[in-house]
Structure 1
Amino acid sequence: MADLTSLTSSAYSQALEVIASVEPRIAEATRKELADQRSSLKLIASENYASPAVLLTMGTWFSDKYAEGTVGHRFYAGCQNVDTVETIAAEHARELFGAEYAYVQPHSGIDANLVAFWSILAHRVESPALEKLGARGVNELTDVDWETLRHELGNQRLLGMSLDAGGHLTHGFRPNISGKMFHQQQYGTDPVTGLLDYDVVAAKAREFKPLILVAGYSAYPRRVDFAKMREIADEVGATLMVDMAHFAGLVAGKVFTGDEDPVPHAHVVTSTTHKSLRGPRGGIVLATEEYAPSVDRGCPMVLGGPLSHVMAAKAVAFAEARQDSFKTYAQQVADNAKSLAEGFMKRGAKLVTDGTDNHIVLVDVSGFGLTGRQAESALLDAGIVTNRNSVPADPNGAWYTSGVRLGTPALTTRGFGHDEFDNVAELIVHVLQNAEAGTTKAGGPSKASYLLPDGLADKVKAASAEMLDKHPLYPGLELT
Structure 2
Amino acid sequence: MHEPAVPRLQSQDPEIAGLVEAEARRQYEKIRLIASENYVSPAVLEATGTVLTNKYSEGYAGKRYYEGQQNVDPIELLAIDRAKELFGVEHANVQPYSGSPANLAVYMAFLEPGDPVMGLSLPMGGHLTHGWSVSATGRWFRPVRYDVRADTGRVDMDQVRDLALKERPKLIWCGGTAIPRTIDFPAFAEIARETGAVLAADIAHIAGLIAGGAHPSPVGHADVITTTTHKTLRGPRGAMIMSTAEHAKAIDKAVFPGLQGGPHNHTTAAIAVALREAAQRDFAGYARQVVANARALAAALLERGYDLISGGTDNHLILIDLTNKGVAGKPAAQALDRAGIELNYNAVPFDPRKPFDPSGLRIGTAAITTRGLTEERMPQIAAWIDEVVQAAAKQDETVVERVAAEVREMLASYPMPGWTPAP
Q: TM-score, normalised by structure 1?
A: 0.86
C-alpha contact 2:3 2:42 (8 A) present in aligned 1? no
1:361 matches 2:353:
no
| Distance (Å, rounded) in 1 between the aligned partners of 2:298 and 2:168 | 37
How has the CA–CA distance of structure 1 residues 59 and 454 changed in structure 2, closer, same or farther, with 3 Å as cutoff? closer
| Distance (Å, rounded) in 2 between the aligned partners of 1:454 and 1:168 | 34
| Distance (Å, rounded) in 2 between the aligned partners of 1:266 and 1:185 | 19
What is the match of residue 110 of structure 2?
120
1:434 matches 2:391:
yes
Q: Which structure: larger Rg?
A: 1
1:56 matches 2:56:
no
1:478 deviates by: 5.4
1:475 deviates by: 8.1
C-alpha contact 1:272 1:284 (8 A) present in aligned 2? yes
What is the match of residue 72 of structure 1?
62
Where in structure 2 are the equivalents of 1:341-380 lying within 5 Å? 341-380=298-337
| Distance (Å, rounded) in 1 between the aligned partners of 2:2 and 2:297 | 37
| Distance (Å, rounded) in 1 between the aligned partners of 2:308 and 2:421 | 39
What is the match of residue 81 of structure 1?
71
1:189 matches 2:189:
no
Q: TM-score, normalised by structure 2?
A: 0.97
1:435 deviates by: 1.6
Most deviating of 417-426 and 324-333: 417-426
| Distance (Å, rounded) in 1 between the aligned partners of 2:422 and 2:235 | 22
How has the CA–CA distance of structure 1 residues 89 and 461 changed in structure 2, closer, same or farther, with 3 Å as cutoff? same
What is the match of residue 441 of structure 1?
none
| Distance (Å, rounded) in 2 between the aligned partners of 1:232 and 1:276 | 28
Percent identity of paired positions between Structure 1 and Structure 2: 42
1:246 matches 2:205:
yes
Where in structure 2 are the equivalents of 1:30-179 lying within 5 Å? 30-121=20-111, 153-179=112-138
Among 201, 214, 222, the alignment partner of 1:266 is 222
1:398 deviates by: 1.7
What is the match of residue 241 of structure 2?
285
| Distance (Å, rounded) in 2 between the aligned partners of 1:328 and 1:455 | 38
Among 448, 466, 471, the alignment partner of 2:414 is 471
| Distance (Å, rounded) in 2 between the aligned partners of 1:319 and 1:110 | 24
Matched AA of 1:202: R
C-alpha contact 2:105 2:259 (8 A) present in aligned 1? yes
| Distance (Å, rounded) in 1 between the aligned partners of 2:37 and 2:15 | 25
Please give the per-residue CA displacement for 1:30-82, whole angstroms capped at 9, x wherever unaligned: 11111111001100000000000001111111001111111111111111211
| Distance (Å, rounded) in 2 between the aligned partners of 1:62 and 1:476 | 23
SS of corresponding position for 1:336: helix
SS of corresponding position for 2:355: helix
Matched AA of 2:238: G
Please give the per-residue CA displacement for 1:124-168, whole angstroms capped at 9, x wherever unaligned: xxxxxxxxxxxxxxxxxxxxxxxxxxxxx1121100000111111
1:423 matches 2:380:
yes
SS of corresponding position for 1:86: helix
Please give the per-residue CA displacement for 1:287-317, whole angstroms capped at 9, x wherever unaligned: 1111100111111101121000000000000
| Distance (Å, rounded) in 1 between the aligned partners of 2:152 and 2:162 | 19
Where in structure 2 are the equivalents of 1:287-366 lying within 5 Å? 287-297=243-253, 298-366=255-323
Among 173, 176, 179, the alignment partner of 1:217 is 176
What is the match of residue 12 of structure 1?
4
What is the match of residue 395 of structure 1?
352
Matched AA of 2:121: S
Most deviating of 415-424 and 311-320: 415-424
1:93 deviates by: 0.4
How has the CA–CA distance of structure 1 residues 200 and 10 changed in structure 2, closer, same or farther, with 3 Å as cutoff? closer
Unaligned ranges ≥5, structure 2? none
C-alpha contact 1:420 1:467 (8 A) present in aligned 2? no
SS of corresponding position for 2:388: helix
SS of corresponding position for 1:473: coil
Matched AA of 2:390: Q
Matched AA of 1:346: E
Where has structure 1 moved over 3 Å in runs of 4 or more?
9-13, 475-480
How many positions carry a matched residue from both structures? 422
1:276 matches 2:268:
no
What is the match of residue 462 of structure 1?
405
1:467 deviates by: 2.2
Please give the per-residue CA displacement for 1:399-428, whole angstroms capped at 9, x wherever unaligned: 111100000000000011112111111100
Matched AA of 1:274: H
| Distance (Å, rounded) in 1 between the aligned partners of 2:380 and 2:110 | 46
Matched AA of 2:13: E
C-alpha contact 2:61 2:77 (8 A) present in aligned 1? yes
C-alpha contact 1:12 1:479 (8 A) present in aligned 2? no
| Distance (Å, rounded) in 1 between the aligned partners of 2:260 and 2:330 | 34
C-alpha contact 2:61 2:73 (8 A) present in aligned 1? yes
Matched AA of 2:402: K
| Distance (Å, rounded) in 1 between the aligned partners of 2:141 and 2:330 | 31
